[in-house]
Structure 1
Amino acid sequence: MAGVEAIAAIQLIDACIDIATTIINVGRAVKDAQGLPPKLRDLCEKLPTIEELLERARNNCKKGTVTEDASKNAVPILQQCEQALGELRDIFRKACPEEGDNRSKRIWKGTRVVFFGRGSQVQKLLVSVQDNLKLLEQMQVYVIGDKLDELQKVTEALACDDGGKYNHSGEGNIVANEGGSPTNYVVGGRNNRQVNNPGVYNEVPLST
């Protein structure tokens, strides 16, 4: 039978699982959305690992295989995990279009800075969650084994991707001059853009 400290840990684990399930469901609903970058699709497919490890922790706590001291020490770690997962959930809800939303391509390109690049919000939160899960293993709450390997690879892939320097949604082309003397180009069609200064350029059409 679970002790007092284990019950407190289980309650936090349940809260983390609920949040993780929400994130996973959002990811499943939009993994085929138009404009969803492939690396985000990979991330959506690996997110269930978090839920599986949390369920393993809950089962061990319920079975009494986790000591009361370990359960007590796990509480602040689980609180950190819950906070990071909550922030991830909020980002996914805001950034992920509803199923069938025809603005999905614009939304995803407009939020790449949140998901891509080392130090992006999503990358930092994913690292925080995984670090917390590893700490739980150190406290002998469960054994991770290789369960986190694929999620870690996807997280690192997000960190190494700046999402592209020039993003433009809608009609027209982008002509980018990365250095040297500015040169004017003539391109047929409408709504073309020329960028003569290197840097990051993002443009999306305004909502109508």
Structure 2
Amino acid sequence: MSGVEFIAVAAAASSIIAIADGITKVSQAMADAQGLPQVFRQAESKLAIVSDILYATKIAFENHNVSGVEITVQKTVANCQNSWEKLNEIFGKVIPDDGASSWVRYRKAVKTLGKGNKVENLMKDLMQNVNLLATLKIMTEGGCQEVIETNPRKEKFEAQIAEVEKWGPSLPDSIFDEGEKYSLHVSGTNNTFVQGENAQQFNLKDHAQSIGSIHGGYHHYASKPTANVP
């Protein structure tokens, strides 16, 4: 392993534990929350696995008396931290129940962060970078260079990543369109759907009745066949 550049392990270990501790706190809050978007529940199960692997990485550092890690680890950990900070920002805005729809809060949070920052995208990025920590080149306190395995269940974890890649979009890409407007659709059975950031409920005289909840910016209303909407 001549030519491999190493950096002190302390900073990487500190960041890894900070991410793992943050995940643990969010997972606890998520478990007690009600009415969260489905993608949050999907993420909840994966976050527990991510946290376990990060803690295992820290323990591997201790067991092997690691004094330094390959410099590429610094970038990998930074990428993990970046994905986690964005996820944590979204969770922090959506999990607390402030009376507003969790879907509305999620939608606003993602729009603020920009394209590529839906929960499913950030979860995939986080898990892929955590997976890179499964095999590390390290320097021991005795000055020996070694390759260590921090995640003996690497193949199973990669299967978990593949599952995340199959998640459907939690929000439509149209939310990022400049000047997004609402669209109104009326089916043959007079089911009215309103989509858009500034969408408002249209009561067709006194015959409209709200029968559903907001799902990712989609408002669903049912009405009696008494009016035509152009």
In the superposition, the TM-score normalised over structure 1's length comes to: 0.63
Contact 2:134–2:150 (CA<8 Å) still a contact in 1? yes
Determine the C-alpha separation between the residues in 2 that align with 1:44 and 1:155.
Answer: 15
Aligned pairs (5 A) from 1:1-208: 5-30=8-33, 33-34=34-35, 36-64=36-64, 68-70=68-70, 72-98=71-97, 103=99, 106-112=101-107, 114=110, 119-139=116-136, 140-143=148-151, 144-150=154-160, 152-154=162-164, 156-159=166-169, 162=172, 175-176=192-193, 188-190=207-209, 202=218
CA contact (8 A) 2:119 2:170 kept: no
**Percent of residue pairs bearing the same amino acid type:** 19
Does the C-alpha gap of structure 1 residues 8 and 94 become closer, same or farther in structure 2, counting only changes over 3 Å?
A: same
1:21/1:51 contact within 8 Å kept = yes
Q: How far has the Cα of 1:64 moved from its partner?
A: 1.5
Match of 1:181 in 2: none
Q: How much is the aligned-residue C-alpha RMSD, in angstroms?
A: 4.1
Q: Given residue 6 of structure 1, which amino acid in structure 2 is its aligned partner?
A: V
1:57 and 1:92 mapped to 2: Cα distance?
Answer: 25
**Cα pair distance change 1:97/1:130, threshold 3 Å:** same
Task: Considering Cα pairs closer than 8 Å and 6+ residues apart, tell me whether 1 or 2 has the greater RCO.
Answer: 1
Structure whose CA Rg is larger: 2
Contact 1:95 1:107 in 2 (8 A): yes
More helix by share: 1
Aligned partners of 1:155, 1:26: CA distance in 2, in Å?
25
How many angstroms does 1:25 deviate by? 2.1
How far apart are the structure 2 equivalents of 1:174 and 1:131? 42
**What CA deviation, in whole Å up to 9, does each residue of 1:43-80 have, x standing for no partner?**
2233211100101100001111667343x431221122
- In structure 1, distance between residues paired with 2:193 and 2:132: 46
Cα distance change, pair 47–121 in 1 and its aligned pair in 2 (3 A): same
User: Greater share of strand residues, 1 or 2?
Assistant: 2
**CA contact 2:39–2:170 (8 Å) conserved in 1:** no
Change (3 A) 1:201 1:42: closer
For the Cα contact (< 8 Å) 1:5–1:68, is it kept in 2?
yes
Shift of the 60–27 alpha-carbon distance from structure 1 to 2, 3 Å rule, reads same
Could you tell me the TM-score, scaled by structure 2's length?
Answer: 0.58
Letter in 1 for 2:88: R
How much has 1:135 moved relative to structure 2?
Answer: 1.6
The equivalent of 2:197 in structure 1 is: none
Distance 1:52 1:154, change over 3 A: same
Return the letter of the residue paired with 1:145.
Answer: E
Q: Provide the C-alpha distance between the structure 2 equivalents of 1:95 and 1:111, rounded to a whole number of angstroms.
A: 6
3-state SS in 2 of match to 1:159: coil
User: Helix, strand or coil: the match of 2:150?
Assistant: coil
